[in-house]
Amino acid sequence: MYNILVAAHSGIRWIIVLMAVIVLIKTLIGWLGSQDYTKLDRQLWLGLVNSAAIQLLLGIVMVIWLLVSGLGFGGVFGLYGEHVLTNIIAIAILMYAARFKKLSDTLQHRNKFFAVLVSALLIYFAVARVGGWG
């Protein structure tokens, strides 16, 4: 059962990578081209944030599983602890960026671009720490 959770968690990473790349390109073009923030932009944004939220929930279940089953989590400052804390910060940045919807369209594009950029870098290093890029 735990293996299924890890496999799902491992697979969803690619959805997040794909969504992050699309949102980065779309917001960069939107910012530099002073484009409207459209319904498509909102849907892509939700796709990214929702896949990150699912990843967070799966991750929390996995951590509880490791703790309860006695498999061992390795502590807050262990390898998994680092992965978990860094990713929680990365996902929190994405969720905080929802506030930018109150700004003008160009500023929303710009701020979301930088939020995803910082978040994606954190995710990249957090996943690299657990050897998750192969």
Q: Rule CB under 6 A: which residues touch ligand HEM?
A: 6, 9-10, 13, 16, 52, 55-56, 59-60, 62-63, 80, 83-84, 87-88, 123, 127, 130, 132
> Between 23 and 31, whose beta carbon lies closer to ligand HEM?
23
- Give whichever of 30 and 59 is closer to ligand HEM, judged by the CB atom: 59
Residue number with CB closer to ligand HEM (62 or 115): 62
* Least spacing, CB of residue 31 vs ligand HEM, in Å: 23
Tell the smallest beta-carbon distance from residue 94 to ligand HEM (Å).
9
Output the furthest CA–CA distance in the chain (Å, rounded).
54
Residue nearest to ligand HEM (CB): 59
In eight-state DSSP terms, residue 71 is: S
Query: SS3 for 103?
Result: coil
Angle at 22 between CA 27 and CA 95, to 5 degrees: 65
The answer to whether 68 touches 100, Cβ cutoff 8 Å, is: no
Residue 102 or 131 with smaller CB distance to ligand HEM: 131
**Phi-psi category of residue 70: left, alpha or beta, with phi > 0 → left and psi -120 to 50 → alpha:** left
CB of 85 to ligand HEM, least distance (A): 9
- Enter the tokens of residue 123: 């995710």
